[in-house]
Amino acid sequence: MNSLTYDAVLFDFDGVIVDSEPVHFACWRELLETVGIRLGWDFYQAECVGIAERPMLDLIARHAGRPDMTDRLLDFYPQKKAMFRHKMAELLPVSPGVTDLITELRGYRLAVVTSSGREDVQPVLEQAGLMDSLDALVCGHEAGALKPSPAPYLLAAERVEARRPLVVEDSEAGEKSGRAAGFDVLRVKQSSEVAEAVRGRLRLGE
């Protein structure tokens, strides 16, 4: 699709707008160590990014050889959320170049689409000064289903009245969600690539 035909850019949050996956990982690693489970970054990055908490914890429990632990690990979730919010407020790990990129994209309708809860996402966007630049924010189960369902991206496109959005994702589940919605997906490996990759796809500055 020609870049000039896009009318919106729909961003994932974790790993795209913010480099938050290492923060999620650090929180879970610390909590899981209390029950004797060692969580490695390579496994987490390959298997746990972009999926909901229960299937993620089920994967971790099975990988650790303790498949009966999923429900117990879920009990850590409220503690993990509180720990994550504290670390995010302290670190504010907005991806390099994202603030300038959002300013350059004023001709496009913009949204953030994430499986994370609004209570975790909106404060970070507000603190980073990005919330006012967005036309929509779709979080958690607000669309009725999580990625890889197309529902979150379809709802975001509806809210910003976009017919030809570009989806920016870093995870397999997110890419499947965007493509299932019928949209072009720009897949990045890490958040530091986002600004340059989006500029290249949209041919900004040409």
Question: Which residues constitute the domain of residue 193?
Answer: 3-19+94-202
Given 14, 58, 120, 170, the catalytic residue: 14
Looking at 57, 91, 125, which one is the last position of a domain? 91
Same-domain status, 65 and 109: no
CA-to-CA separations, 14 to 71, 169, 177, 188, 195, in angstroms, rounded: 24, 9, 15, 12, 15
Catalytic site residue 14?
yes
Told to judge if 135 belongs to the known catalytic residues of this protein, a careful annotator would answer: no
Does 9 share its domain with 109?
Answer: yes
Residue that finishes a domain, picked among 50, 76, 91: 91
- Could you say which of 36, 60, 91 is where a domain stops? 91
Same domain? 143 vs 42: no
Residues 73 and 137 in one domain: no
Residues 15 and 103 in one domain: yes
Q: Structural domain tally of the chain?
A: 2
**pLDDT given at position 206:** 67
Taking only the tens of pLDDT, the chain with its 206 residues reads: 444 589 999 999 998 999 888 999 999 999 999 999 999 999 998 899 878 889 999 999 999 999 999 999 999 999 999 999 898 888 878 887 999 999 999 999 999 999 999 998 999 999 889 999 999 999 999 999 999 999 999 999 999 999 999 999 999 999 999 999 999 999 999 888 999 999 999 998 76
Supply 199's token pair: 């500029």
Q: Which of 12, 19, 58, 170 is catalytic?
A: 12
pTM of the model as a whole: 0.84
Regarding whether 33 and 83 lie in a shared domain, the answer is: yes
Alpha helix segments (H runs only) across the chain: 21-33, 41-47, 53-63, 70-74, 77-91, 98-104, 118-127, 151-160, 172-180, 194-202
Same domain, 39 and 11: no
**What is the pLDDT, as a whole number, of residue 1?**
45
168 shares a domain with 103:
yes
